[in-house]
């Protein structure tokens, strides 16, 4: 599976217009990719940040998605105040722990997203697979997780949770359990993280519980 994440700044007070555009114009434009496009969601995690994350079949689909995305951005350039930053790649890790297609995902899905600068991406992921993912998969609140290796020194990590409280509870347990997060600090050079519920989402398929998605 291939993932694409895009961050962009929008002008103050324009969130409602952004949502209307994605719901009424952006999502319908993606119908031509149905079958190869799996899901897409937009978040407003902080200030005037817009974060979009999409999942699809492969790089070829991502290239087609990029063309549509650029056409969409041209239509709303008066709402935006920065050029987009795009992170994309094959999923290095990825698994669904709960069926992802829910009645109203905007009310029952919470995203934890991070762009990491690390000393060695492979070493970081090996540690994550060893001490973090097993604990993550045992938690009742996790829906799915994944990672993208951007290059040798940068990664994108994401987790979908049933709620903010579920993510917070998990973090508290890890902090109490020998502070697992501290074990990653020697491998880190910096990070940018985002959290929040989707304000616009379209799911074309349901990722079934227990399935690997990489």
Extents of the domains making up the chain? 2-203
Q: In the chain, which stretches have pLDDT less than 70?
A: 100-108, 177, 209-211
Integer Cα distance of 174 and 116 in angstroms: 19
Q: Quick one: which of 2, 34, 15, 74 has its CA closest to 197?
A: 15
Q: Are 108 and 163 in contact (CB under 8 A)?
A: yes
Looking at residue 127, its pLDDT comes to 94
Can you tell me whether residue 208 is helix, strand or coil? coil
Looking at residue 8, its pLDDT comes to 94
Q: How far is residue 55 from each of residues 14, 35, 114, measured CA to CA in Å?
A: 26, 11, 16
Looking at residue 107, its pLDDT comes to 58
Looking at residue 104, its pLDDT comes to 56
Q: Regarding the domain delimited by 2-203, which CATH topology (the fold level of the hierarchy) does it fall under? A: Alpha-Beta Plaits (3.30.70)
Looking at residue 9, its pLDDT comes to 95
Q: Which residues of 93-105 are buried (b: 16+ CB within 10 A; e: fewer)?
A: bbbbbbebeeeeb
């Amino acid at each position: 599976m291939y993932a694409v994440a895009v961050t962009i700044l929008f002008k103050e007070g324009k969130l409602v217009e952004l949502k209307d555009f994605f719901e009424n114009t952006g999502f319908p434009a993606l119908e031509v990719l149905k079958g190869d496009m799996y899901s897409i969601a937009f978040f407003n995690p902080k200030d005037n940040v817009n974060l979009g994350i999409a999942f699809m079949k492969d790089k070829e689909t991502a290239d087609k998605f990029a063309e549509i995305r650029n056409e969409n951005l041209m239509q709303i350039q008066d709402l935006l105040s920065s050029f987009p930053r795009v992170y994309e790649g094959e999923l290095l890790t990825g698994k669904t722990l709960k069926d992802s297609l829910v009645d109203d995902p905007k009310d029952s899905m919470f995203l934890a997203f991070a762009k990491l600068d690390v000393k060695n991406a492979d070493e970081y992921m090996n540690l994550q697979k060893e001490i973090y993912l097993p604990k993550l998969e045992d938690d009742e609140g996790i829906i799915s997780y994944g990672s993208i290796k951007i290059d040798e020194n940068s990664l994108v990590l994401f987790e979908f949770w049933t709620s903010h409280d579920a993510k917070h509870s998990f973090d508290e347990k890890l902090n109490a359990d020998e502070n697992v997060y501290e074990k990653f600090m020697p491998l880190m050079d910096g990070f940018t993280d985002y959290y929040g519920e989707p304000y616009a989402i379209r799911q074309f398929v349901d990722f079934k519980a227990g399935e690997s998605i990489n």
